[in-house]
Amino acid sequence: MARKKVVAGNWKMNLTPSKAESFIGEIKDKINTDAVEVVLCVPYVNLATAQNALKGTKIHVGAQNMHYADEGAYTGEISGKMLAEMKVPYVIIGHSERREYFKESDTEVNIKSLKALKNNLIPIICIGETSKQRNSGRTFDVVRKQLSVALDDMTADDVKKVIIAYEPIWAIGTGVTATKEQAEEVCAAIRKQIEEKLGKSVADSTRILYGGSVTPDNAKELFNMPNIDGGLVGGASLKTSFEQVVRFE
């Protein structure tokens, strides 16, 4: 079966609840489609607002992070169990901004992803190299290691469910998009690694996204590459022209 494409917006720390409601009101009819799975990953405080505003559409809501514990003395944190009860089906894990500013390690990304799956959430697991790593020829090694740790202890069924987002750090928020060839070769290597670990049918089922300065102008060529199953979209998901990213075909 063909993999269904996914276009996930990552709002990051943008839009207050009232702004979120009006923005969703502006775009929802235009991004409501069966052709791709559309997910809006919004700040925690906007989850309920977004769910209400999206009622009656096929658009999903996602969170941008979660803690690995179900509950406990972790002031300021939100658990997967909480997201699950709110019926939030997706959660971004290990975004490079979390890795950089909040020092999230590969191991933490793995533990959070396992916990997300345990709560029936789909983790969107982010991996990607820095410009320094790319320039020194280490892209494939870096991504391989991140993916290997991220998928540790996962079953074949788990890996079929997860979504991997290849996000080269040098492309995030910079306006410097990876070329379709650069993005494809890393996404292909990711799929190959999954195949080595769990076999071809698992590798053929796992969705692998590209993220990093996706725009209405480059979405089509990127998302139509054989190993790229859509995108994780930051800045462009906060504009009404996000519609054109969703309808990239």
The correct pick among 235, 245, 246, 248 for binding ligand PGA (CB under 6 A) is 235
- Phi/psi at 155 (nearest 5 deg)? -85, 170
Q: State the minimum distance, in angstroms, from the CB of residue 80 to ligand PGA.
A: 20
> Is 95 one of the annotated active-site residues of the chain?
yes
**Dist. CA 62–CA 78, nearest whole Å:** 13
**Dist. CA 59–CA 43, nearest whole Å:** 16
Q: Give whichever of 68 and 166 is closer to ligand PGA, judged by the CB atom.
A: 166
Q: Give whichever of 139 and 203 is closer to ligand PGA, judged by the CB atom.
A: 139
Q: Give whichever of 80 and 234 is closer to ligand PGA, judged by the CB atom.
A: 234
Binding mask 191-230 for ligand PGA (x = CB under 6 A): --------------------xxxx----------------
Q: State the minimum distance, in angstroms, from the CB of residue 237 to ligand PGA.
A: 7
The catalytic position among 60, 67, 95, 129 is 95
Q: In whole angstroms, how far apart are CA 127 and each of 76, 95, 212?
A: 25, 7, 11
**Dist. CA 161–CA 195, nearest whole Å:** 15
Q: Using alpha carbons, select from 213, 132, 130 the residue that is nearest to residue 173.
A: 213
The correct pick among 53, 66, 121, 172 for binding ligand PGA (CB under 6 A) is 172
Q: State the minimum distance, in angstroms, from the CB of residue 71 to ligand PGA.
A: 28
> Is 71 one of the annotated active-site residues of the chain?
no
The β-bridge partners of 38 are 7
Q: Using alpha carbons, select from 131, 133, 137, 144 the residue that is nearest to residue 178.
A: 131
Q: Which residues bind ligand PGA (CB under 6 A)?
A: 10, 167, 172-173, 211-214, 232-236
